[in-house]
Structures are given as structure tokens and as C-alpha cells.
Amino acid sequence: QMHLAESGGGSVQAGGSLKLSCTATGFESPPDCMGWFRQAPGKQREAVASIDSWDSEYYAGGVKDRFIVSRRRGSRTLWLQMSGLKPEDTAIYYCAARGDEPCFRDDYDVADKYNYWGQGTQVIVSS
């Protein structure tokens, strides 16, 4: 059974940092494309960042200069280093994966393209 598990969420003050991690288990091989989405209260789920097995990275515009998505090649663990956090970054952060194709610039941010999802980890940023 394929499973994604996030960790690392918490509460920080504005300007602080957090590092999220996501571990994929049950996959025969590491998923080709893994990413992070988030959902704030009352808002739709939105893409944050994705990375694939060829080290192509994609970021939503609002986080590009503050967040770094990473994974070791061949690894089943995904990270999201978040710096310069703002109150508007407050959300539940979800790890997502798809195993059969790379991330693409024109669909890395499409939630329906991901087959597997974690349960989410809460991030709260106070002003």
C-alpha cells in the first residue's frame, strides 16, 4: 500500500523557518514527481512546489524566493525548507506524488495529476 507521511509542521512567528519532510512508503520505486500543496482555511488547495527525479524544480510565485523543495536522487523522502514565513503561509501542507511521469511546468500545480496524498501537516505563522 502506497503511503505518504508528512512531518515538521508547527507554529512559528513571522520571519521564522520550518522544514517539512515527507516519506513515501510502499512504492516499488521512488515516485518520479513529488510536491507540496497547501490549503488555508476557507481557501482552495494550491500548489507550493514540486521536484522530479531529474531534479527539475517548480515553485508557485508567492514562495519562490523563500521556499526550497528538495530530495536526494533516488530517495523516497521529500523536503520543503521554508524561510521568511508570513502569516499568509498558514495552512495545512500536503505532500503529493505521482509515480509514472516527471513533473511538468504546465501541470506540476494541478492537484488532479497526483495520484497519492498525505494526511497533511499544519503550519501556523503568527504576526
Residue pLDDT, tens place only, 80-114: 999 999 999 999 999 999 977 889 989 999 999 99
Taking the C-alpha atoms of residue 75 and residue 72, their distance in angstroms, rounded to an integer, is: 5
pLDDT higher than threshold 90 for residue 12: yes
- pLDDT for res 99: 75
pLDDT higher than threshold 90 for residue 125: yes
- pLDDT for res 75: 84
What end-to-end distance do the CA atoms of the chain give, in Å? 40
Q: Are 27 and 3 in contact (CB under 8 A)?
A: no
What pLDDT digit, counting tens, does each position of 18-64 carry? 999 999 999 888 899 999 999 999 999 999 999 998 889 999 989 99
- pLDDT for res 65: 93
